[in-house]
């Protein structure tokens, strides 16, 4: 099977964490939500190719979470074009909200309009990430040119050597 030599399409330049260009499709929206989910107090339970795309929990109070069904779309009107049942989803997360007739009970989170605020919110609540011993080890070994299987083997060997002996 021949693979077409097509050029990639990029969105407008943005500077937000690890994303250098705005999303141009649903996968970009999924990625961006993955980067931002904690900023908006979501905990992802599962992501799938079927409808709805995501099951998550959203914090609604101290030690209280609600389950939410999420559908990702590049633009919100694609939800209708894809023939999805509005009763099967609580939230549409999209890059552009352009579905004026969207049922009122469905919350729409338009990431393009929140990006600046999300960056500010994220920087305010972000704590310095403390890396695990594994992460530090893996980073060092990647910089030395090792591939993941080699790193994993070295890590396992190191753990075996450091394990306390039983008497």
| Shared-domain flag, residues 83 and 42 | yes
- State whether 81 and 115 are in the same domain: yes
3-state secondary structure of 41: coil
Q: What is the pLDDT of residue 112?
A: 86
| SS3 category, 129 | coil
User: pLDDT tens across 65-120, in order?
Assistant: 999 999 999 999 999 999 999 999 999 999 999 999 999 999 999 988 877 655 55
- Answer whether residue 6 is part of any domain: no
Quick check: 29 and 73 in contact, CB under 8 A?
A: yes
Task: Give me the half-sphere count of Cα atoms (radius 13 Å) on the Cβ side of residue 153.
Answer: 5
81 part of a folded domain:
yes
Total-model pTM: 0.69
Mean pLDDT value across residues 19-38: 87
Say whether both 120 and 137 belong to one domain: no
Instruction: Indicate if 104 and 151 belong to the same structural domain.
Output: no
Region class of 124: left (phi > 0), else alpha (psi between -120 and 50), else beta = alpha
Q: Where are the alpha helices (DSSP H) in the chain?
A: 26-36, 78-81, 111-125, 133-143, 148-162
């Amino acid at each position: 099977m021949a693979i077409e030599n097509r050029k990639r399409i990029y969105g407008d330049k943005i500077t937000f964490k690890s994303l250098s260009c705005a999303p141009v499709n649903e996968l970009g929206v999924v990625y961006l939500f993955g980067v931002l989910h904690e900023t908006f107090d979501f905990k992802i339970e599962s992501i799938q190719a079927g409808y709805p795309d995501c099951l998550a929990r959203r914090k609604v109070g101290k030690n209280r979470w609600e389950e939410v069904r999420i559908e990702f779309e590049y633009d919100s009107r694609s939800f209708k074009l894809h023939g999805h049942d509005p009763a099967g989803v609580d939230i549409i997360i999209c890059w552009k909200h352009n579905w004026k007739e969207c049922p009122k009970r469905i919350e729409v989170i338009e990431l393009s309009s929140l990006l600046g605020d999300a960056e500010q919110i994220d920087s305010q609540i972000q704590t310095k990430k403390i890396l695990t011993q594994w992460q530090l080890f893996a980073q060092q070994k990647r910089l030395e040119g090792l591939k993941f299987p080699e790193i994993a083997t070295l890590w396992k060997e190191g753990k075996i050597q450091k394990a306390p002996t039983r008497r």
